[in-house]
Homo-oligomer: A and B are copies of this chain.
Amino acid sequence: MNIVLLGSGNVATHLGRAFKLAGQTIVQVWSPDINHAKELADTVASEAISDLDDINRDADLYIISVKDDAISELASKLKIGDKLIVHTSGSTGLEALEGVSSRIGVFYPLQTFSKNKAVDFRQIPIAVEASNPEDVAVIRAIADRLSERVMELSSVQRKALHVAAVFACNFTNHLFAIAQELLEAENLDFDLIRPLIAETADKIQLNEPESVQTGPAIREDREIILSHLEMLQDKPELQELYERLSQNIVNLHKQSQG
């Protein structure tokens, strides 16, 4: 299968490598910045282009993997006839590709990609969608070569998955950044808390989050909560966040108890 990859960010990079490993051919990598295109093209033995007029019109699959708000505009500039084209966004509907081709779809790998860290693509869930059933089958077959966990989701389901991922991954990582800030203010190393973070994620692999919730909020230990809020008095943003999250934990607990 011949693939044209449009984009050179984290998702495009990891996807390109995974396709290459799975024996597919990336015929071109496009990026508005030719140096970015070249950097990725080199690692997947492909041609780099920055002019959309140079696009190869004979590929089997075109993958748009750019910032969400740039997908529609880029798609509208493509002259590729009735070829299969997909985007890789969690929260962008299929309709962002309408008018480009009659064969449009989505190929959304659910993972947090950092350029310098390899991931095991076999375990990454890939949500697929397409405007017609034949193309669902085609995209699914492509995804099956990369991952053991491929599923067809509607745009609404995929978006829910993306929002859930923002909470479980992006916001979680931000909480780690806050922890680091608090530690460094007392000359403590972030390394102190790394085993706790590892265990917090590890616990969840075999348990439901609610059943392993710990801490002052779930115990409704008002005295400790107040003393923590007092400690955060010079950081009103964190104080408010602490209060809100604690209250949410209490509320969720009450709700689930009936």
Contact = CB atoms under 8 A, between A and B. Distances in A.
Interface of A: 10, 67-69, 91-92, 110-114, 117, 119, 123-125, 149, 153, 156-157, 159-183, 185-188, 190, 192-210, 212-219, 221-224, 227-228, 231-232, 237, 240-242, 244-245, 248-249, 251-252
B114 A203 contact: yes
Given A161-B183, A163-B182, A199-B112, A209 B168 contact: no
Given A114-B214, A157-B188, 19 more contacts: A68-B216, A110-B192, A112-B199, A112-B214, A123-B195, A124-B195, A125-B195, A160-B185, A161-B183, A161-B186, A162-B228, A164-B180, A165-B179, A166-B217, A173-B204, A174-B248, A237-B248, A237-B251, A241-B244
Contacts of A185: 160
Q: Which of A156, A164, A200 neighbours the largest number of chain B CB atoms within 10 Å of its CB?
A: A164
A159 B225 CA distance: 11
20 contacts: A67-B219, A69-B221, A91-B227, A110-B192, A112-B199, A114-B203, A117-B206, A160-B185, A161-B186, A164-B178, A165-B179, A169-B200, A171-B215, A174-B209, A174-B217, A180-B209, A194-B204, A194-B205, A198-B202, A237-B251
Contacts of A183: 160-161, 164
B161 A192 contact: yes
A153 B228 CA distance: 17
Contact of A179 (B157, B164, B212): B164
Q: Which of A182, A232, A252 neighbours the largest number of chain B CB atoms within 10 Å of its CB?
A: A182
A68 B221 contact: yes
Contacts of A10: 214
A157 to B, nearest CB: 5
Contacts of A212: 112, 114, 117, 173
Given A91-B228, A212-B173, A200 B112 contact: yes
A190 B181 CA distance: 30
A171 B160 CA distance: 21
